[in-house]
Amino acid sequence: MTVILDRIKAILGPDMAGPGFALLAVLVFFSLASSQFLSSATFGAVAFQLPELGLLTLAMLLPVLTGGLNLAITFTANFAGLTAAWVLQQNGGADAGPFAFLLGSILAIGVGGLSGVVMGLVIAYTRAHPILVSLSMMIFLRGLGEFLTRGGDVSGFPAFLQPLGHGSILGFPVPLMVLIGCVLIWHLLLTRMKLGFNTTMIGSNIEAVRYSGVNTRKVIVLVYALSGAMCAVAGIIMLARFNSVRVGHGESYLLITVLACFLGGVNPFGGFGRVIPVFVALVVLQLLSSGLNIMGANQHLATAVWGILLIAVMILRFAAGHFRFLKRKKG
């Protein structure tokens, strides 16, 4: 039995303790608070609401692992969605065919990747702080998007897009399948590929990585390009879910993606983090939102709770690190 438990711990990793405990606490609290919580309706709602937030969190994860940040994720997603919407509108709008959607999706991912490349180049070659660079990109995309749409929505898309946002295959939501596929890709990237190893190493000590012969500039550009491309995937899913695109959609998601990364055990200064614990943290946050909604709380209260939770996570991390330091000192 001990061998089995040790094996499970080795597979899950120590960083699963926080998200796992949080998941258990949320399930127990809301199941006691409301008999409606543990129901197929609740988990069905979570399954459809989770993907767009999850994809944006994956887009945030890679820059955070390098010690950076991408504040432009929501506006990159929306601008990529506008790109796909423009292609559909130019090819008949609601009467556009699958080829137009495929072309729009490719261009959307290209636009998302391009925004990431621009940020990566500026960060890598000028050594400007990622917060300032991504904030500048966020302002640029927001202003350009509002100029092109005049602050309104773009809507009226083909009916065949509905399954991508609301459909199920054998009872499994299609958007959730897209998210899980992207989670697996990110997991393989970080655990099996050289780029993933270099990404975490740059977050630990970029100068040491540079002296070891790694082209750190290339890695940073690729990281932000992949981040932008993942934003575009999120934008396409949002387009299908809401049958409309708006530049300012999902602005509150930015806070939640950062919170999910930290709750999932990612080092805020870079160098350490895994995808699976972050995914579990996302489930916790979405269940927390659904639980508050069932209890009749306003959505703004959920946002406030997320903010308090972020502060609590930072305090607990500090306390845990201080405790380990004192323990080592006594030893």
Query: From CA 161, how far away is CA 271, in angstroms rounded?
Result: 39
Query: pTM for the complete prediction?
Result: 0.89
Which has the closest alpha carbon to 154: 239, 253, 277?
239
Query: From CA 287, how far away is CA 285, in angstroms rounded?
Result: 5
| Structure confidence at residue 5 (pLDDT) | 46
Note the pLDDT tens digit of each residue in 60-109: 999 999 999 999 999 999 999 999 999 999 988 888 889 999 999 999 99
**Which pLDDT tens digits describe the chain residue by residue (331 residues)?**
455 545 555 555 666 777 777 788 888 888 888 888 888 888 888 888 899 999 999 999 999 999 999 999 999 999 999 999 999 999 888 888 899 999 999 999 999 999 999 999 999 999 999 999 999 999 999 999 999 888 788 888 898 998 898 888 888 899 999 999 999 999 999 999 999 999 999 988 888 888 888 999 999 999 999 999 999 999 999 999 988 898 888 887 888 898 888 888 888 888 888 899 899 989 888 888 888 888 877 666 777 777 777 777 677 666 666 665 555 555 5
